[in-house]
């Protein structure tokens, strides 16, 4: 091997090593993990968000190493729901203007959420576009998902799931346009499986309450 070739190889190896170091601690979507189906937006039981809505995001870098203290942002700004300011989670930060909920990852690179909120009023057969939720880690886009909502109509008392929500789901079912807010099985259509999932969350008792009214009627900050 000539001296010139050896030098060139050395430079190439150094370049690769430098690139590897530079990519460390930068979130890599290919090595990170998002929820597999969609994100459930639920109510709470007075002390904590409904376990039915629990989901986790794991952030890893180019070398597949978990990133601790990565800022995971769940961005609902394209969705048809209203977040509650109080997520009953001391580690969750809600931004009403940007409609985001944010948490830092733990030592294993994981941040878990239970998003508390409800559907906006007056949606009729319309609603959110496909994959309205965007998930970022340190500003790097990781994935996009749908965000069905169990609490579909407001209750002036601040109560959570009830007959009015069930009725609203049935109205959505008869739309024929499959509003994504009622697609709990996340298959693109509304059917018996979605109704069964709504009933299981209702009877699970974890969404007996939601954030207090009034809703904002699609103007102003999309949370309360």
Residue ranges in contact with Ca ion by CB under 5 A: 151, 153, 155, 165, 183, 185, 187, 194
In the bound state with Ca ion, the residue whose beta carbon lies nearer, of 67 and 152, is 152
| CA dihedral sign of residues 220, 80, 40, 207 | positive
In whole angstroms, the minimum distance from the beta carbon of 12 to Ca ion comes to 52
In the bound state with Ca ion, the residue whose beta carbon lies nearer, of 75 and 165, is 165
In whole angstroms, the minimum distance from the beta carbon of 222 to Ca ion comes to 17
Which CB contacts under 8 angstroms, 24+ apart, belong to 124-131? 124/175, 125/172, 125/175, 125/176, 125/177, 125/179, 126/80, 126/177, 126/179, 127/80, 127/179, 127/180, 127/181, 128/78, 128/79, 128/80, 128/81, 128/180, 128/181, 129/78, 130/180
In the bound state with Ca ion, the residue whose beta carbon lies nearer, of 61 and 183, is 183
Contacts for 125 with CB less than 8 Å, ≥ 6 apart: 172, 175, 176, 177, 179
In the bound state with Ca ion, the residue whose beta carbon lies nearer, of 75 and 80, is 80
Residues 74 and 133 sit within 8 Å (Cβ to Cβ)? yes
In whole angstroms, the minimum distance from the beta carbon of 34 to Ca ion comes to 19
| CA dihedral sign of residues 195, 197, 202, 207 | negative
In whole angstroms, the minimum distance from the beta carbon of 87 to Ca ion comes to 18
- Nearest-CB residue for Ca ion: 185
In the bound state with Ca ion, the residue whose beta carbon lies nearer, of 15 and 188, is 188
In whole angstroms, the minimum distance from the beta carbon of 185 to Ca ion comes to 4
């Amino acid at each position: 091997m000539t001296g010139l070739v050896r030098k060139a190889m050395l430079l190439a190896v150094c370049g690769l090593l430098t690139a590897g170091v530079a990519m460390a601690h930068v979130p890599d979507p290919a090595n990170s993990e998002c929820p597999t189906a969609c994100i459930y937006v639920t109510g709470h039981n007075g002390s904590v968000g409904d376990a039915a809505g629990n989901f986790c995001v794991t952030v890893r870098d180019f070398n597949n190493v978990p990133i601790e203290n990565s800022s995971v942002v769940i961005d609902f700004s394209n969705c048809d729901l209203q977040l509650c300011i109080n997520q009953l989670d001391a580690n969750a930060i809600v931004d009403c203007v940007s409609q985001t909920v944010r948490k830092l990852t733990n030592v294993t690179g994981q941040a878990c959420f239970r998003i508390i909120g409800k559907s906006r009023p007056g949606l009729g057969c319309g609603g959110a576009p496909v994959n309205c939720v965007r998930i970022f880690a340190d500003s790097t886009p990781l994935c996009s998902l749908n965000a069905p909502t169990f609490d579909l109509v407001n209750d002036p008392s601040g109560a959570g799931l009830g007959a009015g929500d069930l009725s609203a789901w049935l109205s959505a079912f008869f739309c024929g346009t499959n509003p994504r807010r009622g697609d709990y099985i996340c298959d693109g259509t509304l059917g018996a499986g979605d109704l069964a999932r709504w009933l299981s969350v209702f009877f699970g008792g974890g969404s007996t309450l939601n954030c207090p009214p009034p809703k904002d009627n699609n103007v102003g900050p999309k949370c309360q």
